[in-house]
């Protein structure tokens, strides 16, 4: 299953297209979602020859069910697009303030997720030598698995799944 929302293909495809072309965009690879990140790493490992990098791209997507879709997005990408500007747009999508009726005070927020607090306490009892933040991280992971990408935040033309779970 392709784990990236279609509205986010454009940025990832631009990075991959620029890599194939030999442009210096390696610093964007780490921020790409799966499977784009792995494709980018494979291309970046090749010499800066469009022929060799195209072959690396094709080899990277050969076994993916979405290979044709990825290929279409990549070769339709704008080579002249400014990736920094694209990322700035993603990072600066305005979010409206919550209505007053939906806002809670910081003090009330401290007890908003008693399940997580109870889980952390339980986890520390059973694994007292575990790393301090590991308990909270495991609890958040459990919550994200339960959400299973069913929570969606619309941010303009972008969609964000606020989870750490990736199918």
* Domain contains 125: yes
pLDDT in the model for residue 2: 42
pLDDT in the model for residue 40: 94
**CA nearest 39: which of 4, 89, 6, 80?**
4
Cβ–Cβ under 8 Å, residues 118 and 133: no
pLDDT in the model for residue 10: 78
pLDDT in the model for residue 83: 76
- Tokens representing 47 are 């010499």
* Domain contains 15: yes
pLDDT in the model for residue 167: 45
48 and 18, same domain (yes or no): yes
Domain count, the chain: 2
* Domain contains 106: no
Q: How many CB atoms lie within 10 A of CB 29?
A: 19
Tens of pLDDT, residue by residue over 96-127, are 677 888 777 878 877 777 888 899 999 999 99
pLDDT in the model for residue 71: 92
DSSP 27: G
* Domain contains 104: no
* Domain contains 100: no
HSE-CB for 130 with a 13 A CA cutoff: 16
78 and 11, same domain (yes or no): yes
* Domain contains 134: yes
Alpha helices in the chain (DSSP H): 9-20, 36-44, 50-61, 67-76, 83-91, 106-109, 114-126, 132-147
Q: Which structural domain, as residue segments, surrounds residue 143?
A: 111-160
Residues of the chain with pLDDT under 70: 1-8, 85-96, 154-159, 162-167
80 and 19, same domain (yes or no): yes
* Domain contains 25: yes
pLDDT in the model for residue 113: 78
Cα(152)–Cα(117) distance, rounded to whole angstroms? 24
86 and 128, same domain (yes or no): no
Choose one of 34, 56, 91: the last residue of a domain.
91
63 and 121, same domain (yes or no): no
**CA nearest 46: which of 79, 73, 8, 16?**
16
67 and 23, same domain (yes or no): yes
pLDDT in the model for residue 126: 92
């Amino acid at each position: 299953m392709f784990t990236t929302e279609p509205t986010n293909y454009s940025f990832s495809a631009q990075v991959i297209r620029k890599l194939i072309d030999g442009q210096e965009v390696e610093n964007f690879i780490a921020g790409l979602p799966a499977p784009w990140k792995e494709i980018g790493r494979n291309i970046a490992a090749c010499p800066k020859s469009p022929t060799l990098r195209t072959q690396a791209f094709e080899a990277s997507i050969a076994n993916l069910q979405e290979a044709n879709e990825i290929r279409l997005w990549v070769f339709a990408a704008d080579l002249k697009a400014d990736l920094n500007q694209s990322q700035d747009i993603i990072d600066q999508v305005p979010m409206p303030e919550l209505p007053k009726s939906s806002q809670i005070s910081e003090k009330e927020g401290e007890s908003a997720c008693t399940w997580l607090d109870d889980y952390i306490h339980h986890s520390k009892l059973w694994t007292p030598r575990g790393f301090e933040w590991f308990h909270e991280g495991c609890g958040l992971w459990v919550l994200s698995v339960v959400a299973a990408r069913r929570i969606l935040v619309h941010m303009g033309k972008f969609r964000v799944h606020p989870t750490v779970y990736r199918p």
